[in-house]
Chains A and B, each alone.
Chain A
Amino acid sequence: MNEEQTWVSQAQQGDDEAFTRLVETYQTPVFNLCYRMLGEPELAEDAAQETFLRAYQHLGRYDQKRPFATWLLSIAAHYCIDRLRRRKFAMFSMDTEDDEGNTFEYPDADAPNPEAESIKGQTQERVHELLKDLDETDRAAVIMRYWYDYSEKEIAESLRLTVSAVKSRLHRARKELAGLWQDQEDDLLAEMERRHHESPAF
């Protein structure tokens, strides 16, 4: 039995300290999934807290044959999907800094190559924004695939789908993302062209 399984067993027997260790270990993956799903750090914080609370309340149902991380992320994904379905967000905030000043996706100004970091940051910001246009379940599948390297089988188990459904959802989501990406680039080019033509001749 590894350390994690020991903590899980202890937590199942009511040891809150053992559960706290699990929270410390998995806070980042759970928060990241919620952040990618919901788009805002404040909502992600709340969803991640709720995920751990639900895991705590239903720990008796956890099957030790399954990886704990998969079980936990599955709870997080389902919670976020339900939340998104209950309330369709009209618009997401572009802020990427929380109340306590913790940065999330801004490029590091002290990085050796600020320009490259800036482009990378912009690209990631674009992907983050584009994710919001995907269907909730497709989004969860994409996040599990690209942020957690989950196989199609693992995604299927986590989201209670068939492997073929996951595959088709991933394909659809990737195509949709590429289409949106292309549209954005077209808009950007058109805007640049328009500005070029409108600029006064000096």
Chain B
Amino acid sequence: MEELILELKKQIIEALNLEETTPDDIDTNAPLFVEGLGLDSIDALELIVLMEKNYGIKLTDPGKSKEIFKSVATMAEFIQANRTK
């Protein structure tokens, strides 16, 4: 899990162009949106693309997005349980 979390943080930094952020700067359990990294709706789209591209996960239920993208930890848990690649 730790390996997946680190990999995910690196992918988030790259996809969201967080040039001056390192994986260590991202709190695994902190909120991704509004607080914490302060992400917005365009970032949400980037994260959806990231999950599909890198892990083969297509989000079909928009209602679950809020729970999945709550933090890096919740994203990693969802990826581990649902990844197809």
Q: Check if A and B associate.
A: no
